[in-house]
Amino acid sequence: MSEIVAAIDEGAAQQLFTTEVASLGTQSTSGSSSLGPFGVSYAVSGTLSNGTVDLIAPATIEIADLRLDWHVDLSFQLDIGDFIPDIHIPQICIPIPCVGTVCTPRIDIVWPTVTIPVSFGDFLKTTVDLGVALSLVAGVWKVEGVVQGVPNLQFGAATAALLAAIGVAVAAAVAWVPLIGPFLAVLAVAVTAAIGIAGLTGLLGPLITPFISGTRFPITEVNALFEVLPASGPFDPAVFVTVETLAAEVQHNAPEDELVVLADIKP
Amino acid sequence: MSLTETSEVFVAVEESALNDLITAVCTTRPHLLHYGSPAFVPASSTSATQMAPIPFPGSPGLQWSVELTIPQLDLFKEDLPLPPELTLGPGQFSLSTVVQLCVDCASRGKGDEPKDDHHNDHGDDHTHHDPKEPDPKDDRGDNWPDNRDNWGKARNPMCCRLGVFAIGHLVTTWVGGQQAIGFAVDSVEIVDIEPNGLESVFECLLLMILRSVLADMSLPVTALELDAFTLTPTEGPLIDVNRVLARGNF
């Protein structure tokens, strides 16, 4: 039997989780990846919030409806010539009696490569299971809830919306190109078709998932050399005890499920 | 039955942990258990607390000291045997310690050989006397000379050790702005002192000493739960069976 037992019910665990989620703040990362046929550089950020705690004995904290607000800034190079053939109209000369030879100008349209910036944000909800992890690092016992496995994130309508945003971004980015007008709509459709839903989820999944997968939610920290009383004068130095062991588990103590921390100390 | 019941947070400290906490306090701040006048305690320090000699007409003051061993607490139910005069009831703790009472016997009769039974097994009266020191001056009949040039050394300490048992209960107090538990002594029993009047005097004396000592010894609630969760007690801290528990809000 442990010498010290501290327990909180699901209501307190909910308060604790809400506070800890808020303290995580906004996470962000950047890099490069593939967006369908395109190489893309990205900057992505995510903020977790909400979530309903369900304690499940012996060692699971289920968080339902965990919300992730995410935002992504993409930038990729679009070689228009990959979608619309370059136009080469040779010079044509026609001899005209009494006038002479009349030639049309040679026309060469080589489509440029343009940079397409896309900015998009949305949110998703998911349910994750946290395992209770315990560690003793640098003299501090840490109890954390760690997301188990890789959650299957459903982007849903966000992918279609992002595709549409890419189409709009393409149209805006190439609008300056001379003679592109008649091809604008075709180009936007071609690009979004090349990317497709699969291309988007192939990009978003690996970018967004790390904001949830493996996330560690602090539950509590206890110094292995725990200060019982602070120093309070020249003859009253601080009083410490050593926390020899610490453990954490979910217990079903009917009618409640409780998050329990167990400890043993020595003077 | 859930631990938290209708509250959000539950904390329980077994009596072994409570004793560990008290031991930590007493070993880090031994002056909480050791008091004496200058002949025994030359200056207040972490080790001991200097107090005034007991004033008495015709003397420079009676030199004395009181030193307790680290109290051992037993929470209801009774695990450590108590004298039959004491009964450990629900919600109470028992306390056992050994108290050493010393006085500096400044006046001795000429020719009296100081007894050296300091190490006797019965823990009864005994003296401390350094044989390298000259025999105490026989100043019987004179005013006691206040010629101590070394107040940190009692010349003829006479001490006794008394095994003390007490019954008490927890009280809520505050330490540094934090809620804490304190220890209040209700009754004291000393074994094997006769006559009964002497026993009563000693018991009363030790009751007052223990109350004073324990008044300075309290444990913050945060220490009871190692600060694992923030607890604002609404129930307790109180003594359950062999443990102190508290419930409250997160």
Nearest Cα residue in chain A from B12: A5
Contact A5 B10 (CB under 8 A): yes
Of B10, B14, B45, which is closest to A235 when you measure between CB atoms? Answer: B45
Nearest Cα residue in chain B from A6: B11
Please write the tens of the pLDDT for every residue from A111-142.
Answer: 899 999 999 999 999 999 999 999 999 999 99
Please write the tens of the pLDDT for every residue from B53-93.
Answer: 999 888 888 999 999 999 999 999 899 999 999 999 999 99
Model confidence at B159, in pLDDT bands (50, 70, 90)? very high
Sheet holding B9-14, edge to edge: A225-229, A239-253, A256-266, A4-9, B9-14, B243-249, B232-240
Chain A: closest CA distance from residue B60 (Å): 28
The whole-number average pLDDT for the span A60-76 is 93
Model confidence at B107, in pLDDT bands (50, 70, 90)? low
The whole-number average pLDDT for the span B107-118 is 46
- The Cα–Cα gap between B161 and B163 comes to 7
Model confidence at B8, in pLDDT bands (50, 70, 90)? very high
Nearest Cα residue in chain B from A142: B228
CA angle B104, B105, B106 (to 5 degrees): 95
The whole-number average pLDDT for the span B176-194 is 88
- The Cα–Cα gap between A18 and B250 comes to 13
Contact A228 B24 (CB under 8 A): yes
- The Cα–Cα gap between A196 and B142 comes to 112
Chain centre distance of CA A182: 38
Burial of B108 (C-beta count, 10 Å sphere; 0-12/13-18/19+): buried
Report whether pLDDT(B243) > 50: yes
- State the pLDDT at residue A242: 96
- State the pLDDT at residue A53: 95
Report whether pLDDT(A211) > 70: yes
Supply the Cα-derived Rg of chain A in whole angstroms. Answer: 30
Chain A: closest CA distance from residue B126 (Å): 30
From residue B131, alpha-carbon distances to A48, A189, B30, B126, B156 in Å are 78, 109, 29, 15, 11
Instruction: Look up residue A170 and give its DSSP letter.
Output: H
Of A8, A228, A230, which is closest to B25 when you measure between CB atoms? Answer: A228
Instruction: Give the burial string for A66-86 (b: 16+ CB within 10 Å, else e).
Output: bebebbbebbbebebeebbee
- State the pLDDT at residue B146: 54
- Provide, rounded to the nearest whole percent, the portion of chain A with pLDDT above 90: 65
If DSSP codes are grouped into helix, strand and coil, which group holds residue B194?
coil
Report whether pLDDT(B10) > 80: yes
- The Cα–Cα gap between A124 and B66 comes to 70
Mean pLDDT across chain A: 91
- State the pLDDT at residue B152: 64
- State the pLDDT at residue B124: 41
- State the pLDDT at residue B145: 54
Contact A6 B29 (CB under 8 A): no
Model confidence at A184, in pLDDT bands (50, 70, 90)? confident
The whole-number average pLDDT for the span A28-41 is 92
- State the pLDDT at residue B188: 94
Report whether pLDDT(B203) > 50: yes
Model confidence at B151, in pLDDT bands (50, 70, 90)? low
Nearest Cα residue in chain A from B216: A236
Closest by CA position to B66, among listed B107, B25, B101: B101
Paired with A23 in beta bridges are none
Q: With contacts defined as CB-CB under 8 Å, which chain B residues touch A4? A: 11-14, 17, 224-226
B127 versus B231: which is more confidently predicted?
B231
Report whether pLDDT(B239) > 60: yes
ipTM: 0.81
Residues with Cβ within 8 Å of residue A233, at least 6 apart in sequence = none
Report whether pLDDT(B110) > 80: no
Paired with A74 in beta bridges are A42, A118
Contact B46 A238 (CB under 8 A): no
User: How many residues does this entry show for chain A?
Assistant: 267
Supply the Cα-derived Rg of chain B in whole angstroms. Answer: 22
Phi-psi region of A24 (alpha: psi -120 to 50; beta: other; left: phi over 0): alpha
Model confidence at A241, in pLDDT bands (50, 70, 90)? very high
If DSSP codes are grouped into helix, strand and coil, which group holds residue A151?
coil
The whole-number average pLDDT for the span A140-145 is 94
- The whole-model pTM stands at 0.78
Model confidence at B131, in pLDDT bands (50, 70, 90)? very low
Report whether pLDDT(B141) > 70: no
- State the pLDDT at residue A149: 80
Nearest Cα residue in chain B from A241: B24
Of B1, B14, B23, which is closest to A3 when you measure between CB atoms? Answer: B14
Model confidence at B143, in pLDDT bands (50, 70, 90)? low
- State the pLDDT at residue B109: 42
Q: What is the 3-state secondary structure (H, E, C) of A26-73?
A: EEEEEEEEEECCEEEEEEEEEEEEEEEEEEECCCEEEEEEEEEEEEEE
Q: With contacts defined as CB-CB under 8 Å, which chain A residues touch B223? A: 226, 228-229, 241
- State the pLDDT at residue B150: 55
Mean pLDDT across chain B: 83
Model confidence at A179, in pLDDT bands (50, 70, 90)? confident
- The Cα–Cα gap between A83 and A37 comes to 12
- State the pLDDT at residue B140: 44
The whole-number average pLDDT for the span A168-195 is 89
Report whether pLDDT(B244) > 60: yes
| Whether the Cβ atoms of residue B233 and residue B246 lie closer than 8 Å to each other | yes
